[in-house]
Chains A and B, each alone.
Chain A
Amino acid sequence: MQDLLPSDRAPRRITIASVIFVLCCLLSSARMVLDTPLPRQGKADEIARLSDRRFAALRAELPQRGVVGYVGESGSLAVADYYLAQYALTPLVVEHSANHRMVVGNFPSAAGEVPGQDLQLAQELQLVKDFGNGVLLFANPRFADIPATDKDAR
């Protein structure tokens, strides 16, 4: 790779640079290998556990399409919980709002008991079914008499 350089000093410089380049790259490769999770350390199917498996029973009882509401815990993991609920319940659209005839309740850390800060909201809803593991289905009485729109899950 030093072939093009006219001076005699150049080849040595290029040779050294090439060796350093390769060694530095291999250092990073080593880091990549060391940081790789071993099979036993991997949180296999973590998303499936938090999403598909948790909501499997609920999904079976919900309609095939439409929009359902969502209430959940507050806190740092609340957004991820909501996203995972939507992921599991697709192709239903899960809107983060209680303003729907059917409302999904997701309280993973409470495992069935609605925590205090969410109690007020949940008390406005009627529990339809508790699927366990913090997954609940509510009905919103305020929307019971309102005809379902095309988008609302029926």
Chain B
Amino acid sequence: MALVLAVILCLVCGFALASLGWPRSAGLGSAVLLRASLTGPFGLAVFSIIFFIGRVFGVSHLVALDLIAGTMLAAAAARRRSQGDPQGLKPALIAAPGGTAEAVPYPAVPFPVVPCSDRIGSAGSGTGKRISHPVWLERVVTAGFVVSVGAAVYSAWLRAWARPQGSGWDAFAIWNLHARFLFRGGGHWRDGFSPLISWSHPDYPLLLPAAVAHFWSYLGHDEPAVPAVIGLVFTFCTVGLLCAALWLLRGRSCALLGGLALLSTPAFIDLGTWQYADVPLSFFLLATVAFLCLRDERAGSSPGLLALAGVAAGFAAWTKNEGVLFLCAIVLALAWHMGRERSRKMSSQGFEGRRVSTIPLLAALTPVLVVIIYFKRFVAPPGDLFSDPASMLHKVLEPARYWAVIKWYATEFFRFGHWLAIPGTLLLVGFYFAVAKEQHARRGPGFRAAVVGLALTLAGYFAVYLITPLDIYWHLRFSLDRLFLQVWPAVIFLFFLSVRAGEQSAAGDRI
């Protein structure tokens, strides 16, 4: 019974938070899959913050805190929805074959076409034409997707069943260990962040451990199934979010192909059952990128979508230190975009609009950032990465280290997913040249910022390897594939956003 209550409260918090930022005029049932995919992970993130705050202030009545948080979020979401959208929902502008843009109600046509370069919010100059799509190919893609879903569910379930306490050392040496300290430690939970056990990386953020400990508190014991189920939730919500966002922006076929690409990445499904924080981080990276791109495709400023992007980026930083890097990268990318627009001498009105529009992102990010800063400043000991500046400088000046990292990057590009026969990365490259080389989609500011943000993140990983205090080859060997997997769902999303294979608006389910 306690577990059921915890699950309900978690889902209420997640759904209410996702609804808070959702466009007000969109129907409650709009983008059902997307919001369903957000509900679990967002709820877990909120639960982790509630638990952490409860521990910091010594609150033992978690249920009361959960009820207060859930009620406040639900009330805020309901109030926002009842207010309506003063501007009204501006339907996307879709280019008509003649080249004029017109508002269309997203017709429910199986595998129809929406020329994206002329799509939403832009004055279209459409050049696309409608050609009926072979039904058999549609069925092949659908069947392939269904089979890959079945294979992934089967594999993930059995792996989680066979290894209920996760795989690899990080599960019991970092994430679940921190969860145990938070849960078992009671009022002395800070003991878990002692520098005496610095090998457990006590400076790592607490989204996953605190969420696990929150559920354990309801159960009254540290049930190993909790982190296992949370791992599965993040894994399949990542797939759901990828498919839902692509469906909204590029249609059913892109959604199915994108989902297929992720579901058939063996390492991603496997890692989802390891009880590591890499897959949860990949979810929040994808969510940030998806909201930035959804905002591109929606008429109007859509502050709510930017706010959701900010929340997701904040949660990414609360999940892993790599998320902090990603957060900085995205903010830098957005700043870069604003500077670029300025240099293009945009009209003052247009520039002001964009400048103001980043405020919701930063505002939504702030509460999570405060929690992270408190944790880093008052709870966690300093990390080992920047402990020796002199050594770091020496390493940065060693060309051999650059060469080593470049070689590993190149090698892992082809093998990090543990694919069979053809690497998924190579498959995407081949698919791009086959499908999209004659098409160049118009890319919005969110898309460009996301690409730059991810590129900066990968560059940041590169820099970290250069200065790592660990043996560089050991570090690369045991982490680079996971770092690539962190960005893999977002890369698939951006890829299918740009190639325009089988474009179609999500009929009747638009934002």
- A→B interface (CB under 8 Å): 1-7, 10-11, 13-33, 35-39, 41-48, 51, 65, 67, 80, 83-84, 86-87, 90-91, 93-95, 151
On whether the beta carbons of B503 and A18 are closer than 8 Å, the reply is: no
13 sample A-B contacts, Cβ–Cβ < 8 Å, listed by A number: A20-B430, A21-B261, A25-B427, A32-B264, A37-B159, A39-B158, A46-B163, A83-B199, A86-B173, A91-B185, A91-B186, A91-B188, A93-B191
- B→A interface (CB under 8 Å): 111-113, 115, 127-131, 133-134, 137, 140-141, 144, 147-148, 151-152, 154-155, 158-159, 161-166, 169, 171-173, 176-177, 180-181, 184-186, 188-189, 191-192, 194, 196-197, 199-200, 224, 253, 257, 260-261, 263-266, 269-270, 417-422, 424, 427, 430-431, 434-435, 438-439, 500-503
Instruction: Report the Cα distance A17→B499, complex, angstroms.
Output: 13
Nearest B residue to A37 via CB reads B162
Partner of A29, one of B129, B152, B181, B199: B152
Nearest B residue to A13 via CB reads B434
On whether the beta carbons of B144 and A22 are closer than 8 Å, the reply is: yes
Nearest B residue to A1 via CB reads B502
Instruction: Report the Cα distance A39→B162, complex, angstroms.
Output: 6
For the residues of B in contact with A, the DSSP-based class is helix
Chain A residues with CB under 8 A of B169: 80, 83
Partner of B154, one of A5, A33, A151: A33
Most buried by B among A28, A42, A84, A91: A28
Nearest A residue to B178 via CB reads A90
On whether the beta carbons of A4 and B113 are closer than 8 Å, the reply is: yes
On whether the beta carbons of B434 and A2 are closer than 8 Å, the reply is: no
With A1-B137, A91-B181, A93-B196 as contacts: A26 and B144 at CB distance below 8 Å:
yes
With A25-B261, A42-B161, A95-B196 as contacts: A30 and B435 at CB distance below 8 Å:
no
Chain B residues with CB under 8 A of A46: 163, 165
On whether the beta carbons of B420 and A45 are closer than 8 Å, the reply is: no
On whether the beta carbons of B172 and A17 are closer than 8 Å, the reply is: no
With A3-B133, A14-B501 as contacts: A19 and B176 at CB distance below 8 Å:
no
On whether the beta carbons of A25 and B162 are closer than 8 Å, the reply is: no
Chain B residues with CB under 8 A of A37: 158-159, 162
Instruction: Report the Cα distance A39→B159, complex, angstroms.
Output: 9
Nearest A residue to B138 via CB reads A1
